[in-house]
Chains A and B, each alone.
Chain A
Amino acid sequence: MGGAGGPGAPGTGTNGGPGAANSCETGRIGGRAVPLAPRQYVNVLRDVVGASAVSDNDAAASGDFVFDTVDLPWITTSTLDRLLRLSDGAVESLRGKTGTFLGCGSLLDDACVRTGLSKVARRTFKRPVQPAELDGIMAVRQAGIAAVATDQGESAALAALQAILIAPSTIYRSEFLAGVVSAEVALTPHERAASIAAFLLDSVPDEPLMAAADDGSLMARPGLEAQVDRLLALPRVRTHLTRLILQAFNVPRVYTTPKDSKLFPEYTPALQTSMYEESRRFVEDLLWTRSAPLGELLTSRRSFVDASLAKLYGVAAPSGDQFAATDLPVGRSGILTHASVLSVLSRTEVNSVVARGLFMRGNVLCLPKIPGPPASVQAQVAAQLDAKSTQRELAAFRAMTSPCMGCHQQFDRFGLLLEAYDPIGRHLPAQAQTVDFTGLPPLNGPLADVPALTGRLEQDQLFERCLSDRTLSYALSVSNNSQERCLADTASPAPASGSIRDLVLTIVDSPAFNNRSKEP
């Protein structure tokens, strides 16, 4: 963020107070060619070619997923160059084993090689492959046989395989292959399978999902439920969704969030790792062990601590170096009061009412974005930050000063409620003060502490609705707060008051996920 240097733009929701509606158009998002992100491409290569298809270094250099999509990537020269090299490494990892991979005793056996390649293409193209397409793939192989006559057809077969792996039909998932039906177009069974796979597997469909698309069972509720249940039982899907929730709360940032070592000598890399590990175990337990309602992400005091965290939270330490389940003290309430999240949402030396308030507003409640302070007040803002005032004094100043108050009244109060926790997440009951949310619908009225706030959110399922919307945006690969997101919201699923299974099923069975607008 570089300070506001120009006027706001349409669609950024800059003026909406809590509960204010965006000016959304109605309808669905249009059909798209959705490219794989580089990390998804790595997953595809490993799923289709084998675990050793991509080195760990290359995988690490290919980025990580982000929960809040920014924009669909473009396949520019550097990106395609990257994918080409990854595919080159993948096919070379098969050299000497290509016959086994394709199921052919001889790689000069045209029919067998064609069959083997067609199976790969069906998987990566995420749909049945047309004979003409296979002819094209085999033409690459034929060119290979003419060019390299010394290795019994292996280089040729690998070239044909690479042509599949780098083909646009592999790189994109389409959303426009169905015929037009009334004002909307439903995804085909295979497009639906591809979308589900991108959402849950972070890759292309596995064989059972492809089969469910082939026989059409994926289009009916029982078949869809069966596939979702099967996928949610896979460790990789569980890990993926766990990381997705952790990202939604910025937990991974705890590794890179520094603190003043003089003020917080206990905040060591080991403690940072423990903080991450606590939140990971918490989410894993809630989603997969207990299948608990997602609302408990904000309300549950059940968590996992090691000795260092037990000291921070003031609970009994488990024996040895192990983590153990425990109930955190009253005053804690879900992941929002985890040391990880509170540390990330603080400055190096002090808390940040603004950072915590903005996070609550944007990430927990999905209220419209608030723009940064205009350039004209940057110096004043800096002066305030440099003054030796407390966070509460700064917030009080903003609440009484124009133009600060116009925006800060919409989020500072969340941060003030979180003032009862210090920059590394220790609870400071003496700092707790009731905060009056009057004029901030739908919370209107005083709230004594964070548990009171999360209880109030649970009452109206405000957090569940937000998490549902953000997850839908992720599943659709549309941007948070974008006009596309707006279009998705008009048909977003009801908030999932249930478990992660309910949320996933609601999303993948929703019209927003499955239908696209017809091109005018």
Chain B
Amino acid sequence: MPYRTTRRNFLQGGCATAVAFWLRRAEAFAQGATSPKRFLVIHHPVGTIKSNWTCMGSETDFTLSRILKPFEPVKANMVVLDGMDIIARGVGGGHEQGTVVMMTGVRPTQLYPGNGGDDPKSAGPSVDQIFLNGSPSLKGPPIASLQVSCDDRVDVGEFSTRRLSYSGAAAPMDPYLVPNLTYQRVFGTMLAGSGSPDTLANARLLKKSVLDFGLGDLAKLRSLAPSSEYERLDAHEAAIRELERTFDSAPSSATQCGLTMAPPEYKPFVDGAGNRIGNGSYSTVNAKEGEQATHEMIGKLHFAVIRAAFQCDLTRVATFQWSPGTNHVAFQGFYPGDPQAVKMHHPLSHEFNNPMVPEALTLIDTWYSERTAALLSSLKDTPDLGGGTLLDNTLVPYVTEVARADHSWTDAPFLVFGGPGVKLQGNRLKKYSPRRPLNDLWLACAQALDCPTPTKLMTSEMSTGPLNILMG
């Protein structure tokens, strides 16, 4: 039986096996199990225009700013953080180092060769993986964590801006770029819509034996390899074991998890010569056509899979990247005075002295707010099996890698979403003076997620202690 599944198989859904699985899980929650805690990082690129982002009012009585206005439907689950710094004192460029430091909480000391000369390697695991490894509340589902990105075009091929998650130092976890592949990862383990339970069990067993052979082969390779290759091969072993866990678990039906259609397949980013479109140049601002509709569609499709995976407790940790900080998505209709103009986000942001740019960047950041708010609303609208909504039980930092387009990292804009399940008191505006380092947010997240304090995030230059954003 193939590992690959077809759309038709999923749409059939509802077979005895899947229903039995669903019922078992539902019964567990009906008997008093609480909803699981989850952690989801959402990244939007290129900072913000702070004057249009800043909210006015007191901690509990405030008005959402122009850029944050779209979050009104989820304001009750939202904490606005005002006065935060990304402490980036290592090596690397504005967006590059900002992305790595933002996600790992430690300063990078090494660069990837080439790539513009400012592409840093992570010096440690990312916070999502730190929490996953440290928190018993996040463990259990068959898929330890999911990484998705809606676009990977960048300036000069840099690694750092295209990845949020790291399993360790210089060990990036590649995100899924194509929603259909994200879907296949979560629901394509085995045909949930056909076959008897025995047939499915046998097929899973067979796939496990295929991977088991790989483990043995890898062990032999490792025994012969120089020690400098151990880290690489150990990461491969971890990947095999994680995929094996998928086969250990019962199959899931996407339909039962609230996803009625598989994302369509499409050919991503291929130019006229058949080459994969990779890099742009940040000196090229104009593009041929606006891409925001496609960008939004990819985001929605990716997120629908994440939501479904949360709904069926197939994973509890995910990172969602709209685009690299060096964003080459082209936006049309956002340039003041010229509705036909098509401008790529990051290259446009470099026109520092162009008086039209702040308004254009405001409109683009507002666009990201609108789309992200819609995604979060879908979590808020989805009941969780153990009580509350998915959003109530999911801690969702909304982050960006620089404070502003000039690459500064001080007074950076961050939001956190969640609810009682992750101890978050929403509808709050938290103003910090003196400003607080971003790691203080991660320390609070660790507390909310029952993760022992990650001591590596607590160096004196990078943290001052957990933010006071949690209940109790």
A interface vs B, CB < 8 Å?
1-9, 11-12, 14, 30-33, 35, 56-57, 60-61, 63-64, 66, 68, 70-82, 84-85, 88-89, 92, 133, 136-137, 139-140, 143-144, 147-148, 155, 159, 162-163, 166-169, 171-172, 174, 176-177, 243, 252-253, 255-258, 260, 269, 272-273, 276, 347-348, 352, 354-355, 369-372, 375, 378-379, 382-383, 385-386, 479-483, 485, 519
A-B contacts, 8 listed (Cβ < 8 Å):
A4-B93, A12-B117, A32-B229, A60-B274, A63-B276, A136-B213, A140-B210, A167-B213
Q: Which residue of A lies closest to B265 (CB)?
A: A57
How many of chain B's residues have a CB under 8 angstroms from any CB in A? 112
Considering the chains assembled together, what is the distance between the CA atoms of A182 and B117 in angstroms? Answer: 36
Interface residues in B89-103 by Cβ distance below 8 A to A read 89-98
Judged by a CB distance under 8 angstroms, whether B374 is at the interface is no
| Distance A413 CA – B284 CA, assembled complex (angstroms) | 21
Tell whether B452 is near chain A: CB-to-CB under 8 Å.
no
Chain A: which residue is nearest B210 at the CB level?
A163
* B293 sits at the interface (CB 8 A): no
Tell me if B240 counts as interface (CB < 8 A to partner A): yes
Chain B window 195-219, contacts with chain A (Cβ cutoff 8 Å), 1 for yes, 0 for no:
0000000110111011111101110
Is B159 in contact with chain A by the CB < 8 A criterion?
yes
Given A68-B114, A371-B118, A480-B114, verify A147-B206 contact (CB < 8 Å). yes
CB within 8 Å of A: which B268-316 residues = 268, 270-288
Evaluate whether A6 and B272 lie within 8 angstroms (CB atoms) in the complex, with A78-B176, A140-B210 already known.
no
The answer, among A5, A258, A347, A383, for a CB contact under 8 Å with B409, is: A5
Q: When the two chains form the complex, which single residue of B212, B266, B280, B283 contacts A256, counting CB atoms closer than 8 Å?
A: B280
Q: Are B229 and A33 in contact (CB under 8 A)?
A: yes
Quick check: B326 and A9 within 8 Å, CB to CB?
Answer: no
Q: A3-B94, A143-B205 are in contact. Are A355 and B210 (CB under 8 A)?
A: no
Further contacts, 5 of them, CB under 8 A, given A88-B4, A143-B209, A155-B206: A60-B270, A76-B239, A77-B242, A89-B4, A257-B284
**B1-38 Cβ-contact flags toward A at 8 Å (1 or 0):** 11110000000000000000000000000000000000
B285 engages A348 (CB within 8 Å): yes
CB–CB B167/A372 < 8 A: no
Using known A-B contacts A76-B167, A163-B213, A379-B352, determine if residue A481 contacts B114 with beta carbons closer than 8 Å. yes
B145 shortest CB reach to chain A, Å: 8
Q: For residue A70, give the distance in angstroms from its CB to the closest CB of chain B.
A: 6
| Cα A482 to Cα B115 with chains together (Å) | 11
Contact B110 A9 (CB under 8 A): yes
Nearest residue (CB) in A for B110 is A9
State the 8 A-B residue pairs at the shortest beta-carbon distance, nearest first.
A2-B95, A482-B113, A382-B352, A147-B202, A479-B113, A255-B271, A1-B116, A2-B93
A264 vs B361: C-alpha distance when bound (angstroms): 27
Are A480's CB and B113's CB within 8 A? yes
Task: With a 10 A CB-CB cut-off, give which of A80, A82, A133, A176 has the most chain B CB atoms.
Answer: A80
Contacts of A168 in B (CB 8 A): 214, 217-218, 221, 233, 236
Nearest residue (CB) in A for B213 is A163
A382 touches B114 (CB 8 A): no
B317 to chain A, nearest CB (A): 12
Nearest Cβ on chain A to B109's Cβ, whole angstroms: 8
Are A369 and B217 interface neighbours, CB within 8 A?
no
Which of B218, B227, B243, B282 contacts A77 (CB under 8 A)?
Answer: B243
* Inter-subunit contact B93/A372 (CB<8 Å): yes
The answer to whether B284 touches A348, judged by C-beta atoms less than 8 angstroms apart, is yes
B398 at the interface (CB under 8 A from A): no
Q: Which of B112, B238, B402 has the most CB of A within 10 A?
A: B112
Task: Give A287 to B279 CA distance when docked, in angstroms.
Answer: 27
Among the listed A35, A74, A167, A355, which residue makes an inter-chain contact with B281, where contact means beta carbons less than 8 Å apart?
A: A355
Asked if B439 is at the interface (CB within 8 A of a chain A CB), the reply is: no
Q: In the bound complex, how far is the Cα of B285 from the Cα of A352, in angstroms?
A: 13
Chain B min CB distance to A31 (Å): 5
Residues of chain B within 8 A (CB-CB) of A14 are 117
With A70-B112, A168-B218 given, is the CB distance from A9 to B155 under 8 Å?
Answer: no
A-chain residues with CB within 8 Å of residue B276 when the two chains form the complex = 60, 63-64
Best-surrounded residue of A137, A354, A372, A483 (most CB of chain B within 10 A): A372
**B75 interfacial by beta-carbon distance below 8 Å:** no
Contact: B217 with A5, CB < 8 Å? no
Using Cβ atoms and an 8 Å threshold, which residues of chain B touch A347?
283-284
